[in-house]
A and B are shown apart, each in its own frame.
Chain A
Amino acid sequence: MEAIAQKIREAAKRLLSEGKVDVVIGYAKGTVPMREYPYFAYTPEEAENLTWSSFCCNNLALYTIRRPGRMAVVAQGCVSRNLVNLINENQFKRDDLYVIGVNSPGMVDRRKVQALFPGKTITEVIEEPEHLLVKGQGFEERLERKKVFRSNCLTCVQRNPVISDEMIGEVGPEGHGGNIDKVAAPWEKLVPAERWTEMQETLKDCIRCYACRDACPLCYCHVCFVDEAQPQWCGKTQDEADVATFHILRAFHCAGRCTDCGACESACPQGIKMRRLTSKIEKDIRALYGYRPGMEIGAQPPMSLFKPNDPQDFIK
């Protein structure tokens, strides 16, 4: 990890000192364990703060939206797919962007790590190639990284960036072996009433902070439908109908666009399993349209396009 981090810093320093870009958007080490954060380096000196670790869970494509100037973005597979999405949705031009590509090692779910040490405070996590050394008050334990991966990283199909102007480190394997269809499978076994119960259970802790929406590089509407006041589409209360309206509509807005990057799930302060909402939609888009979002510049998102031979059996 540190070797990759060092190469990211070198690339960023070079791009900034040569004046190729105005800013390099990457990750820096957080002030608490297991939480790196999006960092904006404007000078070669600031580029020293860039890092790379198992906890680069924010999707940096978010920060390119409506940002003027020339920017470089550190992009693993999912981030690059969201950059492609944004290019395909005419949010910026490919030429305005410099992609510092990295093969994703798979990011770690800090909640899964914390769950292994209930009630204990983790004070430090040290990266080792395939392991994490977790330290806290009165304990120390070595964990296998893969066992605490974010669930979306386990089922990832695109660890290498789909676009890159410069590749840091080696191009690596594309997946981690998990079967993404299995994520959606539980929904398919349920009848509608059971699905609704499952949905209620999933969302019961939601506090409507909208961190899921705000962390998502798909959500760039000037005014989100939940913030519309005239008319007000969605109530503001914690009543189930209001909470569910937000989540269901948000999930549908992501159809054919969601790259399963997991940023929503990582951002949620309540640990809600956000992918339960998007996994079935992701699978349907793949099954019905043979489409994976963000894989290719110029591809037309199926939900933005009508074709006479589109599947229509679901219209009753």
Chain B
Amino acid sequence: MSSGTGAPAGGAHDETLVLGVPEIARALTRIAHEVLERNRGAADVVLLGIPTRGLPLARRLAARLAEVEPALDVDALLGSLDVTMYRDDLAHHPTRSIGATHLPPGGIDGKVVVLVDDVLYSGRTIRAALDAISDLGRPRGVQLAVLVDRGHRELPIRPDFVGKNLPTAAAERVRVLLDEIDGRDAVLIEGAVL
């Protein structure tokens, strides 16, 4: 979409840098403004990050929302949603460990939940997240913000806010690195033939 194409990574074998530090920052700032615009402020908005990398992204988005609207309280805005126990592919993988689900003190009833994840791919994680949300309460609406949409959807799910649309082949691997977890910010494509 509007964010610029990152400079190609110098020398790495089959690894291409798609978004660097400034691009990720700009994309998040834009998404934050889009969230505010779409919801006419953020009074009813709850950001739920999906572990692992959705969590720091949600936290950064919440900080940006609070920058624009200083009346907002980041803690009342931010939560995490673990979807492991709602996945449809548990029987096809080794046992996954379960992450934490924390809702902000006000809960999600009647709120607008913005799900935050790093990469949107098959859509199955978001399907699981929608099921998890319906067990936790009844939000007024659910929206989806992702840093990267790489296509190949297997379910009728679409994002509302996208950092970057990234056409990929199914054989390629998209890796999102975030400072809070990986020590640096980057979005990489591996196995890419560019």
Bound pair: A and B? no
